[in-house]
């Protein structure tokens, strides 16, 4: 059993609600109202979709269809149940595997606190594959962990260092998480994407029965 399957069966830090993330709601309203983008023909790809709550919301309210994938079979089973009746396909699949999606076919991709669990080599492969799948002019919504101002992240790196730079191992899970500076984000994406908007936000990550304050990058990008 992989670490994420164990986490979805017995959550230690995941919050398995069915309401979409508020940041996703804000992004879709920004895309429709401020950017005046007609999203109703969009094909949406959710990388590491979890139980499908964000993809369900977007397809139900704004898009034509969706594709979601996650390494956890339990997560995908929950996603299929939650999204029943909607034009969404779900796959049990790793970030590191090639997804059966045509080149230049995705209008909007989601990376919602997902790719930060990849190592540096996997992350490069993931972004390369993401670029292949997305249309020119397509949008990417990114939410990932921010190291700047996050004392809990710095403590975790010191106490439970991971193998990758700026990473730590979540105790008792076998899951490695990487946290990013803003320059890290720029270095990863600016070659192939235009950064339309970004901000640093604060949220909370549950661990066992306690919540810890964490910082996140929210970034809206458009493929060049």
Residue 198 has pLDDT above 90, yes or no: yes
Contact 170, 159 (CB under 8 A): no
pTM of the model: 0.94
Q: What is the tens place of the pLDDT at every residue in 7-37?
A: 777 776 677 788 999 999 999 999 999 999 9
Question: What are the CA-CA distances from residue 212 to residues 24, 188, 217 (Å)?
Answer: 22, 27, 17
* Beta-sheet pairing, 65-70 with 88-92: parallel
- Residue 106, Cβ neighbours under 10 Å: how many? 24
Give the confidence band of 97 by pLDDT, cuts at 50, 70, 90.
confident
224 Cβ contact partners less than 8 Å away, ≥ 6 residues apart: 136, 192, 193, 194
Q: What is the tens place of the pLDDT at every residue in 106-117?
A: 999 999 999 999
Question: What are the CA-CA distances from residue 194 to residues 54, 71, 77, 87, 139 (Å)?
Answer: 23, 29, 35, 29, 9
């Amino acid at each position: 059993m992989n670490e994420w399957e164990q986490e979805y069966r017995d959550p230690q830090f995941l919050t398995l609600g069915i309401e979409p993330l508020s940041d996703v709601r804000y992004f879709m309203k920004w895309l429709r109202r401020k950017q005046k983008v007609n999203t109703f023909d969009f094909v949406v790809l959710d990388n590491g979709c979890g139980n499908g709550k964000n993809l369900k919301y977007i397809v139900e309210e704004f898009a034509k269809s969706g594709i979601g994938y996650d390494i956890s079979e339990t997560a995908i089973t929950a996603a299929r149940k939650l999204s029943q009746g909607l034009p969404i396909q779900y796959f049990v699949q790793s970030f590191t595997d090639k997804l059966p999606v045509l080149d230049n076919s995705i209008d909007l991709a989601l990376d919602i606190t997902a790719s930060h669990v990849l190592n540096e080599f996997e992350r490069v492969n993931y972004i390369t594959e993401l670029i292949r799948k997305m249309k020119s002019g397509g949008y990417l919504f990114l939410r990932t962990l921010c190291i700047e101002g996050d004392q809990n992240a710095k403590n975790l790196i010191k106490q439970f260092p991971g193998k990758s730079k700026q990473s730590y191992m979540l105790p008792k899970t076998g899951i490695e998480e990487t946290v990013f500076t803003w320059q890290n984000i720029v270095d990863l994406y600016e070659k192939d994407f235009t950064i339309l908007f970004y901000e640093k936000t604060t949220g909370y990550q549950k661990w066992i029965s306690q919540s810890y304050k964490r910082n996140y990058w929210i970034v809206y990008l458009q493929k060049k």
